[in-house]
Structure 1
């Protein structure tokens, strides 16, 4: 993990292997952003012209490396694009800073130490840069050949240390901002690790063991229901999904409690450690990334641990509904009827609509504790990907104000999201002639149908929202900004920010 160090912005800067500066896009060409004054002076005030000659424009995500002149304690200057130059007296957008820092951190892979002299006009900007560095420097190399001398076989490896310039010594908030970014960044990256871990090494039992270790480390309370406990408790949804696998299911309850808290949030995560589709087997080409089907549980796990590390004055309980969905002689068949933990019966028309079944049991268990709000997170439907694409998750809720508040929280956190409805007319499509409800309804609007199904398992009077992260949870394309290829850790920052707002008395 990249180490962060905070230092005031003093010329000519600390000794480092590289120094990162920001460049904005203006009508006349690239403009050197605030924070890079000492670097610009070393070029006799002509750095913008040099960058323009090299073809740099300041566009977002653009990276330009050039040798440093005499007077700088570094051999390399790295100019990263921030996008359009803001209006006079307006600061740079936090997400632009976060993405720029991520691009630079990824571009400095293998570098031992780099200084970041990006624009800092307060703790918020510094926090965004710190987050971007930690998330952009992420690398998953656990299954690569053993590193030598701290580097990967190809000589790359993550950025070793990042010195953040601009946090003035003695000024309140700067160190706290870096500490917050560190806790969130490290836990988000742990969620990425879980998503990227091959399913032969991360089955439900192994995931539960990771949660147990985190509980021991951070003083969380944990309860793990194994297969027998699930049978004794009547968790028919989780058992039905996990029945076809040699790896037995688990329901993990991971709780952080603050002695002064007066609000309680419940986060519920879909944790299908591998999804073959079950008897309704997925077609060729759709199985290769299905290790990511536990990304919701990973996000919930990371958010609870982050809340504990930040010491937030709110109680947060995470429910991880863990199962592996496999076809076998003991697997649930299309046409089977499951009796859920709530007592409702569900006719299973498609075993590849399994996430809603494990979530239903966990949502009812979470409802029994009567929290102030429940938020579930799941890679639930391909329909949501068709609707919103690969970078935006959908938000559904049984309360319009809460849905709007969550959308604002997500956008503030740098996680693209969009509000989606729960049209009542789609509920009729899940009527079953043999059970209380079917797990499938109309094909069109399938993501909304799934949300309506989940709503059936929320306790009366409890505020609830559903985040369908099927699109952004796993990046199959090339890296961008601070987002790597593979697991992304989507929704962690939204959940943490919601917990922070709740701790501050604003649940939304």
Structure 2
């Protein structure tokens, strides 16, 4: 079983002492004339005294800034925590995502504290939900492989949101959603953080089946013999260099009276050495994260099932380990992909698109209304957009809908084009196409390659978009907001929000 962390969430409307928490978190922003204490549950007298003292305390209100002070008797907590929200807009009205990040940053930095009360501005259900979700995302730690767990690294276990809408029935639903999303994102992070010695195609498939227990989903696992028999040439071709054979895992949630059929395909390279086109040593150091796309689509479908959304959602996990050996695929080999198309392998380090091709072709056979794929696919994505912003490409309507869902979820994605002239770069002298294209625009060329394997319904290509998360899936820098170091779980919330938007549009 993949361990994860889960935050117990609740809400109260009035006396903070009823929360029985160890720490009270309130917000400070950066105003034009200095730090500004935002709306909080303190008495007017205490709030004014604290506001006057902020400059003397060295508090600036910068994002991710957290100051701990002794608790006030009126709060009933041992610690008062001042959490920065960053620069304030006119009127000091902070955005939903600002609240989400501030709550997540505070909870993340309060690891070692058992319980917190969150007294950030939360006058509406949407604001209270953002505070709860940020807290759920911030309460994460990965200590599974430490010889002795350090109690100081334990994440916060309980959080109470202080809000005047605590009794609103919609908030109860929002708190459940925040809890489900937090658990799904944290499970994705834990999968990504697993070392390749522990997470490989077979163990990943077993973990998926274990994580799905108790939910109304069906898990089907295709082993190496079935993949070979059925012609999954991408998965078998990439996986044959490893002693750990590939798997294709299908996770299906199919409620009665579903309003739409969604298919999610995820890249699951549990370790990427580059194969015979070997990466340099430094390039391998983070390659345990090359299965992030598969972790995302798995947990997105499990979250959709737990939330009971009226959509059929199917995740396809394309799992393989890309290793060099005497049995590995060679540059110039030709692979026959699932469905019959042939691909000349010019570079064995462009392997993700090969396993994804099989998954896209298989998912297309079920004729979903929309097909989305998620992958840590190209280094070119990071060249184009940096380490925090993902790319989304594909059919314009789907691409823009994914971007809108990401914006609502608070995840950073940017729409990118698919220039048709790049298709000619994939031409092969011996096969239907090659797995490498022109030197420039590698992210776009990779997406154009994937598009070749998206099927049709009634002669029309299935609406499709590709999410390249090579940069934002794995945080090599310092933690920030609700984002920890290493696995981030990015794109889970976007896929869930997309499914919710599909439901809303069909109402």
> Aligned equivalents of 2:74 and 2:24: distance in 1?
13
CA distance in 2, matches of 1:143, 1:41: 48
2:287 pairs with 1:262: no
Task: Flag the 1:107–1:216 CA change in 2: closer, same or farther, 3 A.
Answer: closer
Alignment correspondent of 1:82? 85
Match of 2:439 among 430, 438, 443: 443
Indicate how the Cα distance of structure 1 residues 506 and 423 shifts in structure 2: closer, same or farther if over 3 A, else same: farther
Partner of 1:237: 234
Pairwise CA RMSD of aligned residues? Answer: 1.5
Q: Is contact 1:42-1:70 (8 Å) kept?
A: no
Displacement of 1:68 in angstroms is 2.3
2:205 equivalent in structure 1: 208
- CA deviations on 1:459-486 (whole Å, 9 max, x unpaired) are 1220000000001000011100110001
- 1:299 is aligned to 296
Shift of 1:72: 2.5
For 2:448, the equivalent position in structure 1 comes to 452
| TM-superposed deviation, 1:13 | 5.5
Q: Are 1:141 and 2:138 matched, yes or no?
A: no
Matched, 1:412 2:434: no
1:11–1:246 distance in 2 versus 1, CA, 3 Å: closer
The 1-side partners of 2:230 and 2:148 are apart by 44
Deviation by residue 1:269-326 (Cα, 9 ceiling, x = unmatched): 0000000000000012011110000000000001000000100011100000000000
> Equivalent residue for 2:317?
320
Q: Can you list the C-alpha shifts for 1:360-400, whole angstroms capped at 9, x where unaligned? A: 00000000000000000000000111000000001110x21
Aligned to 2:46: 42
Aligned residues: 498
Q: In the alignment, is the contact (CA less than 8 A) between 1:223 and 1:253 conserved in 2?
A: yes
Partners of 1:218 and 1:308 within 8 A in 2: yes
Deviations 1:193-248 (A, max 9, x none): 00000011111011111111133321211111000100111000110000100001
Q: 2:76 aligns with which of 73, 78, 84?
A: 73
Distance in 2 between residues matched to 1:275 and 1:262, nearest whole Å? 38
- Following the alignment from structure 1 to structure 2, what is the Cα–Cα distance between the partners of residues 54 and 26? 16
Counterpart in the other structure of 2:3: none
Whether the aligned pair in 1 keeps the contact of 2:7 and 2:179 (CA below 8 Å) is no
Find the residue that maps to 1:448 and give its secondary structure.
helix
Aligned to 2:474: 474
Write out aligned runs for 1:295-444 (5 A): 295-397=292-394, 399-444=395-440
Given that residues 123 and 167 in structure 1 are in contact (C-alpha distance below 8 angstroms), is that contact kept between their aligned partners in structure 2?
no
How much does 1:132 deviate? 1.1
Mapped to 1, the partners of 2:498 and 2:45 lie a distance apart of 43
Shift of 1:86: 3.9
- Indicate the residue corresponding to 1:51 in structure 2: 54
Aligned to 2:131, what secondary structure does the other structure show? helix
Whole-angstrom CA distance in 2 between matches of 1:40 and 1:438? 69
- Identify if the C-alpha distance between structure 1 residues 39 and 249 changes in structure 2 by more than 3 Å, giving closer, same or farther: farther
- Maintained 8 Å contact 1:474/1:485: yes
- Distance in 2 between residues matched to 1:296 and 1:119, nearest whole Å: 34
Question: SS state of the match for residue 169, structure 2?
Answer: coil
Contact 1:261 1:503 in 2 (8 A): no
SS in 1 for 2:330: coil
Partner of 1:5: 10
Alignment deviations for residues 412-431 of structure 1 (CA, whole Å, 9 cap, x no partner)? 21111111111111111111
Unaligned segments of structure 1, at least 5 residues: none
Give 1:106 shift.
Answer: 1.5
2:215 to 209, 213, 218: 218
Give the corresponding residue for 1:500: 500
Are residue 172 (structure 1) and residue 177 (structure 2) matched?
no
Cα distance change on mapping 1:482 and 1:46 into 2, 3 Å: same
TM-score by length of 2: 0.95
The answer to whether the 8 Å contact 1:9/1:117 transfers is no
Q: Partners of 2:425 and 2:179 in 1: how far apart? A: 46
Counterparts of 1:85 and 1:420, CA distance in 2? 31
The question of whether the paired residues in 2 share the 8 Å contact of 1:367 and 1:459 is answered with yes
